[in-house]
Amino acid sequence: MAKVFNLTSLSQKFGECYVARLKDTDKVIAHAKDADQLLAKIKGREEFKKNKLVISWIPKYGARYVFRISLPICQS
Amino acid sequence: MVQDTFLEFPFQFAKVESLGRLFYPIVAVKLKTIFGWQLFDFLVDTGADLTTIPLPIAYTLGIDIKKLPHSQTRGVGGILVSTWNTTVNIAIGKDEFKTHISITKGNSAPPLLGKKDVLEKRYSLTLDSKRKVTILSKNG
């Protein structure tokens, strides 16, 4: 089994948000409600400049989600 | 990740009320932000017609939504969602390509990797629940 990443503790700690974590170690270095706020927070960091981070969405703790986005069907 | 044409991404998981541990198929996608290429986790969503990003991420890509055509898209239960459609360059592994995207108002949905330009043609998708990995194979 591949090394899966557990979001549970992050969702308990931060709630629904975005986090920046190190690609290699999964260590979270910053979090924010929105992705643009997060990037503003981390843009000066060395890890960010060296492309060592991954931005991830964290679900709300315990919540169930269904996503479905569909475009209107064209009628000719 | 193994090769460019065969990419593996470990599942992520979270505890969900009354369901226990639930796995999320996540794929790392590079987006060209105003600060350069950055890696974002996208939830694989075969129910999404288009790759979708929330508005705050569009801001980080330098997209001015005032210049884009505004439309409405149906979400779950037929709820109409305000969207703006455009095309952007994305990269999966070393494979950089242009794709249609939909920008959703608000921040209620995560980045979604959808069908158009990605899952319908360019890549074949396998969710290997035994090995807990999402596999994207580039079609020849």
pLDDT in tens, A10-39: 999 999 999 999 998 999 999 999 988 999
Domain contains A42: yes
Question: What percent of chain B shows pLDDT beyond 90?
Answer: 70
Residue A76, in any domain of the structure: no
Instruction: Please give the residue range of the domain that contains residue B68.
Output: 6-138
Within a domain: residue B73? Answer: yes
Q: Which residues of B touch A23 (CB under 8 A)?
A: 39
Q: How many domains, chain B?
A: 1
Residue B98 domain-assigned (yes or no): yes
Q: Does A21 touch chain B (CB under 8 A)?
A: no
Question: Is residue A64 situated within a structural domain?
Answer: no
Across chain A, what does the average pLDDT equal?
87
In one-letter notation, the amino acid at residue B29 is V
Residues B31 and B61 sit within 8 Å (Cβ to Cβ): yes
Give the residue-averaged pLDDT of B18-25: 90
Q: What pLDDT is attached to residue B2?
A: 43
B93 contacts in chain A (CB < 8 Å): none
Q: Which of A52, A71, A73 to mutate to test the interface with B (most CBs of B within 10 A)?
A: A71
- pTM, two decimals, is 0.90
Contact at CB, B35 and A39, closer than 8 angstroms: yes
A32 domain residue, yes or no: yes
- CA–CA dist B54, B137 (Å, integer): 26
CA distances from A59 to A17, A69, B84 (A): 7, 18, 24
* β-strand partners of B117: none
- Identify from B7, B18, B23, B26 which residue to disrupt to test chain A contact, counting A C-beta atoms within 10 A and taking the largest count: B26
- Residue A72: band (very low, low, confident or very high) from pLDDT cuts 50, 70, 90: low
Q: Which residues of B touch A72 (CB under 8 A)?
A: 71-74
> Which residue type does B56 have?
P
| A22 token code pair | 């190190």
- Tell me which residue in B60, B81, B114 faces A35 most closely, judged by beta carbons: B60
Look at B79 and A40; give whichever has higher pLDDT: A40
Say how many domains are in chain A.
1
CA distance to partner chain B, nearest, from residue A19 (Å) = 10
Tell which residue, B124, B1, B12, B102, has the closest CA to residue A67. Answer: B102
What's the mean pLDDT in B77-106? 90
- Report DSSP letters for B29-73, one per residue: EEEEETTEEEEEEEEE-TT-SSEEEEHHHHHHTT--GGGSPEEEE
A11 to chain B: nearest residue by CA? B14
**In a domain? residue B1:** no
pLDDT at res. A74: 61
pLDDT band at B84 (very low <50, low <70, confident <90, very high): very high
